[in-house]
Copies of this chain bind each other. A is one copy, B any other.
Amino acid sequence: MNNFEFKNPTKIIFGKDSIKKLENEIPKDAKVLLLYGGGSIKKNGIYDQVKKALAKVNIVEFGGIPANPEYALLMDALKVIKDEKITYLLAVGGGSVIDGTKFLSSAALFEGETPWDILSKNIRTEKGMPFGTVLTLPATGSEMNSGAVITRKETKEKLSMGGPGLFPEFSILDPQVIASIPQHQLANGLMDAFTHVLEQYMTYPTEALLQDRFAESILQTIIKVAPKVLKDPTDYKAASNFMWSCTMALNGLIQKGVPTDWAVHAMGHELTALFGIDHARTLAVIAPSHYKFNFEAKKEKLAQYAARVWNITDGNTDDKAYAAIEKTVAFFHELDIDTKLSDYTKDYEGTAEKIAQRFTDRGWLGLGEHQSLSPDKVEKIVKMAY
């Protein structure tokens, strides 16, 4: 097990009818900027629940934050924060709204030249404006971690940021919100959380026995509840396990003491930036090729995953490892998620070269747990994913 530090101070408020507990979490004298997305919260009743819980609090609203939160739009929100002397941020939404709120939390107190530096120069946020979240779409784990990913349209870039100042003070997780999420987004959430675990697990054995078991626990739970959630999103038992699994998949715990990969995300982000493909679906496109290309380096863990998660016991290590990749692809298909780039765009020729070039331009020499995936290897993996 590698040395590690772990601290996660976010308060989770989980369960039925928990949105009303908002009123206990935000200081009475705060001036709150309520951030949300495309307006679904006004249709499914969450907006009303939030407003009711905060009836006594001074609130300004900023809606319309899209998937892959966009820098230019967030700069508009930052202006509101300054103009209105906002003191507290409340994200009501999924990962995109929460990530956008994290950027604002950092940017509101940033003293550098331009907030873009936080992303482009990878500046760690030690202290941000306090914020909380009401999660409306389980997927990214952003509700209990200190990272965010922000997109800049003009340059087709998708960059990450983070730091100990970016943990939400609280996050409210009411699994009942799942009932009104469209199938397409439920599948994305299941896919996203599943891949988050794989990125922190599918590397090489390090005798971090408990971390491995925890990662497998989340994978097993997602596999178990996925068909139930998709069939009946009002099934509270399935919904609550889905929601808690998404949070635990990326709240820092399972990555402690172990190597992590994240190459699937790095390549996937480029597909979103280039083609606008849903984040989760880019992961389904890249992951199978990634595991096949890096088969030798990952086969021990793939075989362990085969045995423990998919109950594949026949054959040698190679057989089991290969069967596990097949099972994983089949699982993605069961979520009704396509796993080839050509399923999403006819315009895929040249994509592999383009992505490799972008990595070269950014000076990213090696991705993955061994930092060994050079741009030429990235090119091969993306080509395998056509």
Contact = CB atoms under 8 A, between A and B. Distances in A.
A188 B109 CA distance: 49
Nearest to A212: B217
Interface residues of A, number: 39
Contacts of A6: 11-12, 14
Contacts of A16: 3
Given A7-B11, A10-B7, A12-B5, A213 B220 contact: yes
Contacts of A175: 1
A214 interface: yes
A221 interface: yes
Contact of A9 (B3, B7, B218, B245): B7
A291 interface: no
Contacts of A248: 210
A201 interface: no
Interface stretch (A128-136, A236-244, A261-269, A336-344): A236-244
A248 B240 CA distance: 22
Contact of A12 (B7, B10, B11, B15): B7
A127 B185 CA distance: 42
Given A217-B214, A257-B14, A207 B3 contact: no
A8 interface: yes
A218 to B, nearest CB: 7
A256 interface: yes
A9 B241 CA distance: 23
A283 B24 CA distance: 39
A151 B202 CA distance: 47
Interface of A: 1-16, 18, 175, 207-210, 213-214, 216-218, 220-221, 224-225, 237, 240-241, 244-245, 248, 256-257
10 contacts: A3-B14, A4-B12, A5-B12, A5-B13, A7-B12, A8-B9, A208-B241, A209-B224, A210-B245, A213-B213
Given A1-B237, A1-B241, A5-B14, 11 more contacts: A1-B15, A3-B15, A4-B12, A6-B12, A207-B241, A208-B241, A209-B225, A210-B221, A213-B218, A214-B214, A216-B217
